[in-house]
Amino acid sequence: MPQDFMSQFYLDGKTALITGAAGYFGRRFVQGLLDARAAKVVIIEKEGVGPDFRYQLDQIYGSRIAWYENNLADDDETDATYGRILQEHDCPDVLVNNAFIFGSETGFTLGRREVIAGTTHEEFRQCFEAGLWWAFQAMQKLGPVMRARGSGSIVNIASSLAVIAPSKHTYEGYAHAVNPIMYGPTKSGLLGLTRRMADLLAPVRVNALCPGAIPNLAEGRHKAGKEYEDNFLNDLTKRMVLGRCGEADELVAPLVFLASEASSYITGHPLMVDGGWTVTSQEVR
């Protein structure tokens, strides 16, 4: 009989762990994992972040959700949290390293126009710590247990800016803040880490999801130091092969693909979900 290929996208009986689950992408990722029939979704989020989302999940999904309040910037606390998760839920089948700091701590500051002289050591350090160390620490604690079990899927949330640098002309004439200079290198490092861990943790699969320009219009300038009050986004779309920016919901199916057995022979791979931003020279079309 022919194989039911669609069943490979389901996560029946599996436990998924996601960091930064109450954020703009994270909320959609959680819903996608639940819609893919994950038996349980374990959430790590900073204390006091997303109480509305937590309440909603508890009301709808009950015991399918396990929520851990944890400050990923605290190594000892984070180590203890991963230890608790392993004790209380065994090792997750899926790990989604989604957490990051979009804020002034990592250089996402309203009105920033100068990214060389204006960048501080502390911004650089916090960007690399949030973008690389947090993902490594999760893989360090959970990856070997997955490997010993002989299965698992890890998805690191990177960026299309891991493989290209935005042209300086992208921001000319707009109030929109310039992307921090260390953001792209941090995400490039995450791709390098993804490849190395794919080798070290096999047969666990380790891949990266690389979103393109997906503006957070719901929270806008108050979230990540972004300014959407001029024609910036309309002109940015001219740099996309598909002629538009993306929407956060368009990341969910690619995430489920990488998390599920549908991608069983894929590892160490950066999956671009960027409307074709990285396939051209970024010249205005």
pLDDT tens figures, 228-272 = 667 788 888 888 899 999 999 999 999 999 999 999 999 999 999
Quick one: 196 exposed, middle or buried, by C-beta within 10 A (0-12, 13-18, 19+)?
Answer: middle
Residue 53 is assigned to a structural domain of this protein = yes
Our count of domains for the chain comes to: 1
SS3 content of the chain, % helix, strand, coil (to 5): 45, 15, 40
Query: Do the domain assignments include residue 285?
Result: no
185/163 Cα distance (integer angstroms): 9
b/e for 90-103, b at 16 or more Cβ within 10 A? ebbbbbbbbbbbbe
Please state, for a pLDDT cut of 70, what percent of the chain lies above it.
94
Residue 68 lies in a domain: yes
Q: Is 228 a catalytic residue?
A: no
Q: What is the mean pLDDT of residues 42-64?
A: 96
- Residue 42 is inside which H or E element, if any? strand 40-45
Query: Is the pLDDT assigned to residue 15 strictly greater than 60?
Result: yes
Q: What angle do CA 128, 130, 134 make, to 5 degrees?
A: 110
The mean per-residue pLDDT over the stretch 182-210 comes to: 97
Q: What is the mean pLDDT of residues 136-159?
A: 98
Please give the pLDDT value at position 224: 59
pLDDT on residue 197 = 98
Look at phi and psi of residue 51 and say left if phi exceeds 0, alpha if psi is from -120 to 50, else beta.
alpha
- pTM of the predicted structure, to 2 decimals: 0.94
Which residues lie below 8 Å from residue 67, measured CB to CB, with a gap of 6+? 43, 45, 54, 57, 58
Domain that holds residue 178: 5-279
Say which CATH number the domain at 241 has: 3.40.50.720
Instruction: Between 153 and 178, name the one with better pLDDT.
Output: 153
The per-residue pLDDT for 89 is: 94
- Does residue 284 belong to any structural domain of this protein? no
Q: Tens digit of pLDDT for each residue in 158-177?
A: 999 999 998 777 777 777 77
Higher-pLDDT residue of 226 and 55 is 55
Residue 1 — very low, low, confident or very high, per pLDDT cuts 50/70/90?
Answer: very low
Average pLDDT value for the chain: 91
What pLDDT does residue 248 have? 95
Is position 119 within any domain? yes
CA atoms within 13 A on the CB side of 122: 3
Question: Is residue 140 assigned to a domain?
Answer: yes
pLDDT digits (tens, 9 = 90+) for 116-132: 888 999 999 999 999 99
* Number of continuous H segments (helices) and E segments (strands) in the chain: 9, 7
Catalytic residue among 82, 171, 183, 265: 183
Tens-digit pLDDT profile for residues 69-126: 999 999 999 999 999 999 999 899 999 999 999 888 998 887 777 788 889 999 999 9
pLDDT beyond 70 at 10: yes
CA pair distance 267, 284, nearest whole angstrom: 34
> Which stretch of 11-15, 36-40, 106-110, 262-266 has the lowest confidence by average pLDDT?
106-110
Count of CB atoms situated within 10 Å of the CB of 144: 14
Judge whether residue 222 has pLDDT over 60. no
